[in-house]
Amino acid sequence: MHSPELLKGTLQTILLKVLKDNGKMYGYEITQRVKELSLGRILLTEGALYPALHKLEADGLLQTETVLMGKRVRKYYTITVTGKSLVKERVLEFREFIKTMSAVLQVQIA
């Protein structure tokens, strides 16, 4: 597991990117996908996940659709057009950040 400190500020970007790449997903599914992609190193907590999703929805970056699976509720999230354009920026910004940090820490990346 990574130090949670480093994760700060990356959650929105992660959520938007995963939703952009995987289409319609629900919260729990996102946590599993992120866990998988990160080889178990990023475990999203519910207390961070749901408020973040709600905020992204309120900001018009995601839209939702609630579905009843048997007796259980599932809330599916889809990225909006605005969300897609933002995620591009955010990922670019993250790459720039990595470059800058590599220069400051004098480390080789990749």
Which residues contribute to the site for its own copies (CB under 8 A)?
2-10, 13-14, 17-18, 21, 34, 37-39, 41-42, 91, 93-98, 100-101, 103-110
Q: Are 27 and 44 in contact (CB under 8 A)?
A: no
Q: Angle of helix 11-22 relative to helix 27-37, nearest 10 degrees?
A: 100
94 interacts with, out of DNA, its own copies, none, CB within 5 to 8 A per kind: its own copies
Q: Give Cβ neighbours of residue 78 (< 8 Å, ≥ 6 apart).
A: 19, 23, 24, 62, 63, 64, 65
Least distance CB 106 / DNA (angstroms): 19
- Tell me the C-alpha distance between 68 and 19, whole Å: 20
Least distance CB 47 / its own copies (angstroms): 18
15 interacts with, out of DNA, its own copies, none, CB within 5 to 8 A per kind: none
71 interacts with, out of its own copies, DNA, none, CB within 5 to 8 A per kind: DNA
